[in-house]
Structure formats: C-alpha cells, structure tokens
Structure 1
C-alpha cells in the first residue's frame, strides 16, 4: 500500500511545490508594488518641498518688484510649511547612503536659498532696494534651486533603478517558475499514467479477492442471517436523520430498501407471467423493506423533533414492568437484568411507545457494549434539576423530572465518543452491526418531550445514560375502556377519501373497499365538498393534510360546519402546523401517519367510527 500511494504522494508534493513557489512569487510582486508606491510617495514629498521653495522665491520676487506686502503672504506660508515638509521627508528617507547624501545636499541648498530670500527681504524693508536687487542678480538663489533640482533628479534615478532591479528579479523568478511548472505537469502526467497502470492490476486482484470473499460469505450466510433476523427490528428503531449532515446515510439506507422492493417486485412479476404463484416470500420481503423505510422516516422525524407524538399520562414503573419479558427476549440469557423502581414515583406526560423504544434502544446498545455478557440495571427515581445544572446544560428547564437510568458493565466510552454519541449515523460498532441512529432517536424524542438526556461513562468502567422526563402535575386522564373485538363486525359505513395523489388515492380506496366499506373519493378539497353535499350518509372523512388550494385541516373545518356529526381522520407523511403543534397532536384529532398497513387502517377506522 505504501508503494501504491507513493505516486500520489509525489504528485501532491509537486503540486505543493508549484503552489508554494507561486505564493512566493506573488509575495515578491506584492513587495515590489509596495516599494514602488513608497518610492512614488517619497518623490512626491520631495516635489512638495521643491514647490514650497519655489513659492517662497516667487513671493520674494513679487515683493521686491511691487513693494506690496501682500506678495509676502505666499513666502510666509511656504517658510512656515518647509520645516514640516522636511520632517516628513526625513521620516520617509530610506537608510541608503546615496539618498542620504543627496538629502543632505538638498537641505544645504534649501538653507542657503531661505537665508538669501530672508536677507533680500530684510534689505528691501530697511530701504536698501538697490542692494537687495543686487543680491538677487548675483544668482545665489537660482544656484541653490538648481542644486536642489539636481539632487532630486539623482534621487529619482536611484529609485527608478531600484524598481527596475526588483522587476528584473521578479521576471527571472517567473521565467524559472514557468519552466518548472511545465516540467512538474509533465511529471504529474507520467505519475498518473503509472498510477492508472498499477490501479488496473490492483483492480484485478480486488476482483479475485471479492470472489473469494463471496464464497466465504455464503459459507457464513446461515449464521449471519440468524443474527440479522434477531437484530433487524432493533436496527430499524435506531434509524433517524438530521437535515444537512444525514444525506449520505439516508441515501444509503433508502437505496438498500428500494433495492429489495424492486428486486422482489420484478421477481414476482416474472413468476406471475410464467403462471407461478409462489410469490409470498417476495411480497413479504418487499413489505418488510417498505416497513423499514417507514420506520426510518419515523426515526428521522424523531431526531428532528417533528414526529407527531401522542402523549399520555405514563407510570414509568408500570411501563418497565410490562417490558421485562421483551427486554429478556431481546437481550438474551447472557445479560442479567436488574430493575430498581422508586416508590412513589411521579407520573410523566409523554408518548409511551416512544419511551419503550428509547429504553429498548439503550438496552440493546448496552448489550453490544457488554459483548452479550454482563449486567444491565434500569433504575427510576424522582429528580430535580436546579438552576445551577440548567445553566451548564443547553435546553434544560429547571424543575422536577422523572429520571430513568440505564447502566451497563460494558466497555464504556471515551470523552471524544461521548461528545459525538448523539450524532446521527455515528457509531463505534463494526460494519453492519449498527446504523448509528439509536441514541439520536432517543435524543430527539426526549428533547421533543421537553426532557433531558445525559451520558456518564469512562473507558473500562461501563456506561450510565439518564433520561429526564418532565413531571406531570395535572389530573390523571382516565384510561380508555377496552373495546370489543371488531375484527368480525360487518362494516356498512360510507367513507369519503380525499387525496391529491391519484396513485395513493387509488390504493387507499382499494384497501378500504377490501375492508368492506363503501368508498367515495375526491382529488381536492373543493371536489370533496361537492361530493359531501351530493352524497347523503357519509360517516367519515379520510383526508390528506398537505394538498393544494385547500389543505386537509381547512377541508375538515368546512365539512364539519356543514355536517357536525361527520367523523374525520387525517393522514400525511409529514406535517408541521396543520394538526401538529409543538410536536404534539391537537386535542381530539384522529391521525394516521403514512405509510400505514391495512391492519393499522382497519383499526383506526373502527376506533373512530365506533367513538360516540
């Protein structure tokens, strides 16, 4: 493997060298531009100094010619500004002997020029105009100005030479880089060709190895199939997703399920065309895959805290007692289960089926962490989370909670694993031993129920996961009476099915007719209202929620206004606001989530129709 990766490493090294050299060149060019700007600014400072000297001289000449004091104003301003301009020139002067020497010449010439100007003005003001003019005609001021101009020209030539030298050096580097880049690209192409050749050889080896692996997998198939059947239900309860981070995991799982469904249906079609009717296993496989997809969608909604919960007042102790047989069958004989149930445990208001799923997920994770041998302790206790605890834990509201603790004697978790434990599709289990959705589903359900979940663990010391569900303070709701068995009851009611998707509408009406109901169907809310008005004796409205023009909630409100005794069942694959608010179903709302089985549909219809 090291030899195989060597061409890639070499290629990346060449690319890194090119990029690094390019970066150096860019920095060199940036430095050259900065130096050029500094040279221009410095020369502008010198030009400003020369302009001030010329203004002073112009003011002196005007005063000597006219005798007007107003001509001395430019002179005075220039004399006042010259020291500051000299200071700026000094601060910008580079530590260069040649430039420093020329600046010294400029200062000397400027000093002589200013002294000459001041002397002529003083003579003129004393009344000795002839002598002042004689001093002007002597050419001392002009000579000083010429000397300043000559020094400034020298400085400009020095700056231009420095800029030219930098540009020449940059051009040389760029030329060598261009040559090096072409050579590097050629080397990369050669490395690519070598890598492709090696990959083909490796691919052939991989094919041979895969064939051998398939043979061994067939030998182990019976044992693997047995274990997968025992764990399939648990894996499906762990599946969930978070928007953004979960695209790859969702696509992987859904593609596997769709592959089972498509292959099973294709085989069933072929068998039916040949007149064969032994397709029950194929149908079962497709149905099982579809159920897995539905469970995955449920877990995804649980993690995103968008699943429609049906909370009830729950006695956690009673719920755990009822789960004892299920836990023993699921965990196996190697796991010793101990329950420590607190006396006087408070009630909580949550979805009992989701509580069972959460406990089952935690128990299965514990079994895997203990490698099918160890002790699992499930404990309940009344708990209070105070303000101090809430201030250090996001989304925790101080108050009273019912706490469920699941403790195992397994391998434990490191702090890094604990930090990522609730991430969807994160798992430390081997491949095909878990989806990484169990703890995510627990986390989403608990948060949606207003609770809190916390992990306590150390490597080699086992793990404790505590679930906190808010205490219920209201009056306990009376338990619903156990209904009679309606499986044999003859159905005579008329049902109005409203669904905008024609395929879903056809399948739903077909199932209801199979159950014995009289079915009328409509593809939109307005059409459903027309059929409701035209057809007497409709007992139940079965409507999708998400529909164009008029959604299911508005349709139900309009239908109940016209026919108050009408029963309504809502259905949808996902809804946020129509009949679900804050993650809970609205009061007195009958809801059946898509997709549903014929048994679920039959039970829901009878429950609603038989409700007084």
Structure 2
C-alpha cells in the first residue's frame, strides 16, 4: 500500500535540519575554551544525527507504503529514547553553562569591586598627590620669593661692590697718574737743572773771563748756548709727548722721505751695522709733518743702534696696511681704516713684555746713566698720535725689536715742500725795511728788537695789541708785523686781522712758546701761516724774517 506524503509539509523540517549543522559548528566554536562542554556538544551532535537518521527511516518506510513497519519502528521507542538522551544532555549543558555564567558573574562582580576600589584608591592617591603638589608649590614659591629677596640683596651688594671697586680703581688710576706726573716732573727737573747748571755756570765763567781772556769767555758762551739748545730740545720732546707740538703736516710720499734719509742714517748708526731699506711699490701718500716724521725715524734708529752694540742688521720698511675693526677694538685710540706703515727693525737684544709695556712712558729708559733721556719713544708716540696714527712695538728677548708707525692714508696728491732759500751768510735787511715787534714780555721784546736792529732793520715796538694798532696809525709805513700770539688784551691773531684791514699788504710773522693758541688747532698750524716758535736763535730769526719779507711766508690769518 502506498501513501501520498505532503512534501511541502516537511519543508520546515528540512530547513531546520539544514541549519542544524551550522548551529553545531557555531556551538563548537563557542565552547572551544571548555573541553568538557565541547565533548558534550559533540555528543549532542551525534545523538542529533542518530535521531535524524531514525526519522528518515520512518519517513522512507512510510513513503514505500509500509505503514505497519513505520508504526512498528515508532512503537519500538528508539526515537523517544534518543530525544530523552538529548534532553538530558541539553539540560546538563545548560546547567554547566549557568554554573559557568554564575562564576563569571561573580568574577565580574569581584573585578568591578576591585575596579571600584582601585578608582577610590586612585582618587585618594590623586588627592594626596594634589595636597603634596600644593604644599610643594607653596614651598617652591617660598623658596622663589626667598631667592628673589636674596638676589635683590646680592644685586645691591654687587652694585655697592662695583661702586666701591670703581672708586678704588679710580683712586689707583689717580695714584698712577700722580706717580707718572711725579716721574715726569722729577725727570724734567733733573734734566733742566743739569742744563741750567751748564748755562748759568758757563755764563758766570764767561762774565769772569771776559775782561782778561775774551777767547776763553767765548768758549764758555758757546757751552751755555749748547746747554740752552738742549733745554729747548727737551721742551720740544715734552710737547711732542703731550701731543701739543706745532705740526706743519702736508701730503707726502714716505718712500721718498725714507729713501732720502738712508745715507744720513748709515752715518748716524755707524759702520758696524748693516742698514737695509725695503720700500713698498705703489705706496699710498700720507698726511704728516715731514720734519717730525724724520725725527721719529732717527729716534727709532738710534734706539736700534744702542740695542746692537756688537753689530747687527737695521731694516727700514714701508708698506700699505689696513687696520680692521677687530684690531681697532683691541687697541685704544685706533680708528679702523687704511694706513701707511713705516717700520724700524733690529736684530738686537729685544725687550721683555714689562719693558714694552712702559716703553712710551716719559723718562723711562733701560739704558745706562748718561746714555738716554727716556724721551725718545715718548716723543715718537706723541707725534704719531697727534698725527692721527698708531704705533706698535713687537719685541722678543734675544731676537730683536720692530717698531711700526701707522700714519693715516691720504688720497690727495703729494704736495711740494715749502721753498727753501739758501743763504751764503746770515740774511740782513734790504733797504729801509721796517718791522713792528709786538711782545708783552719786556725782556723777550728787547732781545727781538736788538737782534732785528743788528740785522739792519728799522724797528718799532709795542707791548700789547692796542699800542701796536696805535703805532700803525702813526707810522706811515710798516713792512712786517712780528707779533706774539698770547697777549692779555687781544691775541696776536686778532691783532693781525685788524692790522690787515688797515694795511692789506702787511706781512705777518707769528711767534709763541705756547701751542694751544689762535693759529694752532689740534696741534696743526693753519695753512699759509708764517710761524717762528720760541725759543729761537739769532740765525733762525734772521732766516724767517727774510723768508716772510721775500714772499716765502704769508700774511694770511684765516
């Protein structure tokens, strides 16, 4: 007997059976970390498979029409037994999972409590740290305030110490200045006393010998003149050291000046020294007083000679150089720029550092008694500084010394020196030339008047500027105004200005023993000014007056 089975009725069953395999796979994956439960799941899969097989057998038997056999299989109870086993196993697995869930829940609760406790502990720690940080901040603030107070006190102490040190240094500098002034005045007094002893002693002897022995009296006068000239030279050196000598600078070529001195220097230093001159090609011009530059070079060569008593080599060298900002910052009174360098080098004994440091001090000398005044290098230093230059000594004991003079570069063309007049004998007055002498110092005025009259000039005189102007009003003709510069009522410069307004063709010759005056500015003579520094000799007066009257001088005042 066959039976018609509704297949669409079994579709939900077939769909459930199809999903069952995937569900068991998912269950195995979920229970992979629990071996017991995983074994139970596999047992459940097996029982499920047996139950599915049993049902398939019943359905197939029923499809074949063996209804009785199908009912017989159902009545055997195998399917029910399998379902009972499945239910038991599922209940066991569920119980185990509930137990595990309870354990996990307990663990989670414990962990939650632990986390809560940790959070509470963290909050407490944070609170404690906050308190500690607050207290540390207060401590640090107190320390900072204390440090600030200490720093302010240290600053006050440092300021007071700086002021005290500055005062002490100022006092030391003042003491050093006083020591230098004392050394200077002592040296001046010593040298002038020696020279005055020669002058006074010689003149006294001349006065005593004049009636009986004029020849010997004349020799004494010559000695007195020599002492007086040495005193004048000493004054000139002191003025050079103090940068107050009257300079007459012009644009010059140092190569020509040094080259022209070579023969003179060879004679001055002696035959036991080898003199070498190294002149730079393309040497720049400089602006300096040629006479004073020659004196400076001679002074340096004499010092070099004295440093080589057993012979050696003396080298004069010129060159172009640039003193940069770095060098200028390391040396006082040096302005960065281009300079003409003139150096004198020797192969002598050299100088230790402490001697180099004091080499330019006046009256400081390492030479023996009677071999030096101690003013040579100070004169060089004063001249170079007054000329806007720089001087530097390089020396090493046992090797030698080099002294370098740096004079500012001049971009102007070289100037010819003032025309010099050669006189076979002392020049005298020509015709009826009239000289007006203005001098407030009576004895000096009388000496000048007597000297000019001996030279054949007609001389009128005045003791001050007002008298001089009055003489010009009364005297119909005056050829030369010979005036002192420093006078009480009106200086010589203003007198000359007034005189030239009235006598435009008047020649003017100035004289003074003081350099800071109306015709010398910063130690430099005004251009085209005729000047005769005091003290002067009879010959110097005769030559200068003749030069001015003949037109070699000038009558400009401004």
TM-score, normalised to structure 2, is 0.65
- In structure 2, what is the Cα distance between the partners aligned to 1:421 and 1:430? 15
**Secondary structure class of the residue paired with 1:353:** helix
> What is the Cα deviation at residue 489 of structure 1?
6.4
Give the 5 Å matches for 1:75-154. Answer: none
- In structure 1, what is the Cα distance between the partners aligned to 2:241 and 2:416? 30
264, 268, 272: which one pairs with 1:326? 264
Query: Which residue of structure 2 lines up, in the alignment, with residue 414 of structure 1?
Result: 352
Matched, 1:271 2:209: yes
Tell me whether 385-394 or 553-562 shows the greater mean CA deviation.
553-562
Matched, 1:539 2:479: yes
- In structure 2, what is the Cα distance between the partners aligned to 1:368 and 1:478? 34
Cα displacement string for residues 101-126 of structure 1 (whole angstroms, at most 9, x for unaligned residues): xxxxxxxxxxxxxxxxxxxxxxxxxx
- In structure 2, what is the Cα distance between the partners aligned to 1:399 and 1:242? 32
Matched, 1:291 2:240: no
Give the 5 Å matches for 1:23-38. Answer: none
- In structure 2, what is the Cα distance between the partners aligned to 1:522 and 1:419? 50
Cα distance change of structure 1 residues 257 and 482 upon mapping to structure 2, 3 Å threshold: closer
Query: Which residue of structure 1 lines up, in the alignment, with residue 532 of structure 2?
Result: 592
- In structure 2, what is the Cα distance between the partners aligned to 1:540 and 1:422? 42
Query: Which residue of structure 1 lines up, in the alignment, with residue 160 of structure 2?
Result: none
Give the 5 Å matches for 1:482-561. Answer: 483=421, 485=423, 487=425, 490-492=429-431, 493-561=433-501
- In structure 1, what is the Cα distance between the partners aligned to 2:364 and 2:429? 50
**Secondary structure class of the residue paired with 1:356:** helix
Query: Which residue of structure 2 lines up, in the alignment, with residue 46 of structure 1?
Result: none
501, 506, 510: which one pairs with 1:570? 510
Cα displacement string for residues 324-353 of structure 1 (whole angstroms, at most 9, x for unaligned residues): 121111111111101111011111111111
- In structure 2, what is the Cα distance between the partners aligned to 1:486 and 1:276? 27
**2:237–2:379: 8 Å Cα contact kept in structure 1?**
yes
396, 400, 404: which one pairs with 1:458? 396
Cα distance change of structure 1 residues 458 and 606 upon mapping to structure 2, 3 Å threshold: same
**Secondary structure class of the residue paired with 2:335:** coil
Cα distance change of structure 1 residues 242 and 561 upon mapping to structure 2, 3 Å threshold: farther
- In structure 2, what is the Cα distance between the partners aligned to 1:457 and 1:555? 52
> What is the Cα deviation at residue 309 of structure 1?
0.2
**1:546–1:575: 8 Å Cα contact kept in structure 2?**
no
369, 373, 380: which one pairs with 1:442? 380
Alpha-carbon RMSD across the aligned residues, in angstroms, is 1.7
Query: Which residue of structure 1 lines up, in the alignment, with residue 83 of structure 2?
Result: none
The alignment covers a number of residue pairs equal to 372
- In structure 2, what is the Cα distance between the partners aligned to 1:547 and 1:510? 21
**1:331–1:372: 8 Å Cα contact kept in structure 2?**
no
**1:496–1:519: 8 Å Cα contact kept in structure 2?**
yes
Cα distance change of structure 1 residues 366 and 482 upon mapping to structure 2, 3 Å threshold: closer
Cα displacement string for residues 339-380 of structure 1 (whole angstroms, at most 9, x for unaligned residues): 111011111111111111111111111111111511011111
Matched, 1:313 2:255: no
**1:242–1:300: 8 Å Cα contact kept in structure 2?**
no
- In structure 1, what is the Cα distance between the partners aligned to 2:213 and 2:369? 41
Query: Which residue of structure 2 lines up, in the alignment, with residue 204 of structure 1?
Result: none
338, 359, 363: which one pairs with 1:400? 338
> What is the Cα deviation at residue 482 of structure 1?
5.1
> What is the Cα deviation at residue 611 of structure 1?
1.0
**Secondary structure class of the residue paired with 2:508:** strand
> What is the Cα deviation at residue 476 of structure 1?
3.2
Matched, 1:611 2:551: yes
Matched, 1:580 2:520: yes
Query: Which residue of structure 2 lines up, in the alignment, with residue 381 of structure 1?
Result: 319
Matched, 1:471 2:406: no
Unaligned runs of 5+ in 2: 1-178, 553-558
Query: Which residue of structure 2 lines up, in the alignment, with residue 246 of structure 1?
Result: 184
Unaligned runs of 5+ in 1: 1-240
- In structure 2, what is the Cα distance between the partners aligned to 1:480 and 1:312? 10
Cα distance change of structure 1 residues 478 and 416 upon mapping to structure 2, 3 Å threshold: closer
Cα displacement string for residues 292-327 of structure 1 (whole angstroms, at most 9, x for unaligned residues): 011111110000000000112221111112111211
> What is the Cα deviation at residue 553 of structure 1?
1.3
Cα displacement string for residues 53-106 of structure 1 (whole angstroms, at most 9, x for unaligned residues): xxxxxxxxxxxxxxxxxxxxxxxxxxxxxxxxxxxxxxxxxxxxxxxxxxxxxx
264, 281, 291: which one pairs with 1:343? 281
Matched, 1:390 2:315: no
**1:242–1:303: 8 Å Cα contact kept in structure 2?**
no
Give the 5 Å matches for 1:419-430. Answer: 419-430=357-368
Query: Which residue of structure 2 lines up, in the alignment, with residue 36 of structure 1?
Result: none
**2:253–2:414: 8 Å Cα contact kept in structure 1?**
no
Query: Which residue of structure 2 lines up, in the alignment, with residue 157 of structure 1?
Result: none
Cα distance change of structure 1 residues 358 and 481 upon mapping to structure 2, 3 Å threshold: closer
- In structure 2, what is the Cα distance between the partners aligned to 1:315 and 1:591? 24
Cα displacement string for residues 189-233 of structure 1 (whole angstroms, at most 9, x for unaligned residues): xxxxxxxxxxxxxxxxxxxxxxxxxxxxxxxxxxxxxxxxxxxxx
Matched, 1:601 2:529: no
Query: Which residue of structure 2 lines up, in the alignment, with residue 302 of structure 1?
Result: 240
**Secondary structure class of the residue paired with 1:262:** helix
Cα distance change of structure 1 residues 479 and 580 upon mapping to structure 2, 3 Å threshold: closer
> What is the Cα deviation at residue 478 of structure 1?
4.2
- In structure 2, what is the Cα distance between the partners aligned to 1:363 and 1:486? 32
**1:540–1:566: 8 Å Cα contact kept in structure 2?**
yes
Query: Which residue of structure 2 lines up, in the alignment, with residue 362 of structure 1?
Result: 300
**1:525–1:552: 8 Å Cα contact kept in structure 2?**
yes
> What is the Cα deviation at residue 274 of structure 1?
3.4
